[in-house]
Structures are given as structure tokens and as C-alpha cells.
Copies of this chain bind each other. A is one copy, B any other.
Amino acid sequence: MKNPLPFLPTNDLSAEEVMSSITIDCCVFSFEKGYLEVLLVQHGQGISKGKWGLPGGWIKKEEDIDVAADRLLSELTGVKDIYLEQVKTFGKPERFPLGRVITIGYYALINREDFKVKAGFTASEAKWYRIKDIPDLIYDHNEILQASLNRLRGKVKRAPIGFNLLPEKFTLLQLMQLYTEILDVEMDKSNFRRKFLKMKLLQEAGDKQTGVSHRAAKLYRFDEEIYQNLTRKGFNFEF
């Protein structure tokens, strides 16, 4: 049988197993040392060799697209139950130089502590880049990244998804820094505290920071259950 694809899948799937002309690309965000970062992978072959791009892959013939995205990312990052949201589909006819391929963009949020790069990948093949240091990417991946970031910025103001980027326990200032970094705005510590605590979404963990050379802050955890109870009202995380 003739290969229906204008090029081969780059991973361990054969052309017969996957849908032709349609792929998935993912923008994986994490938060490390106060910076929002994105996971990029290096392309090993073809005309784009050496250039960085978003991780992506093919959709199996009988596989849901959300499941496909989850599969790709679980394999790559070692994280289970990844927070994943579809952004939009990119379909310029010339976006991919080797044939007509439409790609569905997703973004994911992961807690950096859970991350383990895929077996077989070296540090030079997958790397975290700070959002302000993103290089020129292959194809239209800069555009996909920008759309993902915009979506994240919008969503973070309307739903408490930021917690997916933090460890289970965190301080209020870490949380504020996360918002500061994602939204790229300065905010007042005191007002942030008041506003966030008023929502009653945070549970005191009971313990405190250790190993800091100043007054230790209380640790909190996000209370999923309370969130679910309030979520219909649709509240506002703008600062």
C-alpha cells in the first residue's frame, strides 16, 4: 500500500496506524524559579534539523484527539493526568513544507517536580525555555505558542488553573508571582492576599516554609472541592 502521508511519522507509529494530514502540537508550560517556561524539542532530521519546535505527533485512526494529545504528552513528560486544553487548529496551506498538514494546538500545564523527560531523549533534544527567550521555531510553531500563551492568560483570569503549575503546597507569594509572571503585570502583595483569601479557595496546609532565611510563610493547598461548589458562579481572578 502506498504511504498516504507526504512524509513519515517521526515516532514509533507507522503510517497505516495514524490519520493522514492531521497532527497535534502541544505547548507544555511549567513554572520554575519564578519563570514561566515552555518545553521545546529539537528536530533531528530533514530540512528543519537543529531547529526547535513544539512537541507533537500523530493521531491514531480510532483515537480521540484529546486522548492523542494526552498520550503524546504522557510519553514525553512522564506526567499522568496532565492538565490539557485545546487551543485551536492551524490550517494555513503552506504551514508545513512537505505537504498539506493541519495541526490541532493544545496547551498543557505541569508541575515541574513531576517532570521526567522521555527515556531516550537527551537534554539536548528536549529543553525548557523561558517564555521571553523563545527562539525561532519550526513551521508556524511560534504562532501556536503565542496563541497558547494568550489562551492561558485568558483562562487563568477566569478559572484557578494556575495551581496545576505549582507543587501541592505553596505560599501566597509563590502564587502571586505565578500570576505576575503569566499575566506580566505588577501587583500589590496586600491586595492580592485579600482578594485571593476572600475567595476561600485555599486550604491552610498547617505547616510552614522551611529553609528560608526570613519569616516562614504559611503553606496552602488548592481546594478542588470548594472550587467545584463555587464554579458555577464564575468568579474572577483578575488582579
Interface of A toward B, CB cutoff 8 Å: 4, 19-22, 59, 61-66, 86, 88-89, 91-93, 100, 102, 104
Cβ contact within 8 Å between A61 and B100: yes
Cβ contact within 8 Å between A91 and B62: no
List residues of chain B with CB within 8 A of the CB of A65: 89, 91-92, 102
Identify the interface centre among A20, A21, A91, A104: most chain B CB within 10 Å of its CB.
A91
Cβ contact within 8 Å between B102 and A22: yes
Docked CA distance A63–B100 (Å): 10
Number of copies: 2
Cβ contact within 8 Å between B22 and A62: no
A227 CB, min distance to chain B CBs, angstroms: 19
Going nearest first, the 8 A-B pairs with the smallest beta carbon separation are A65-B91, A89-B89, A62-B93, A89-B104, A86-B88, A64-B92, A64-B93, A19-B21
Docked CA distance A232–B67 (Å): 36
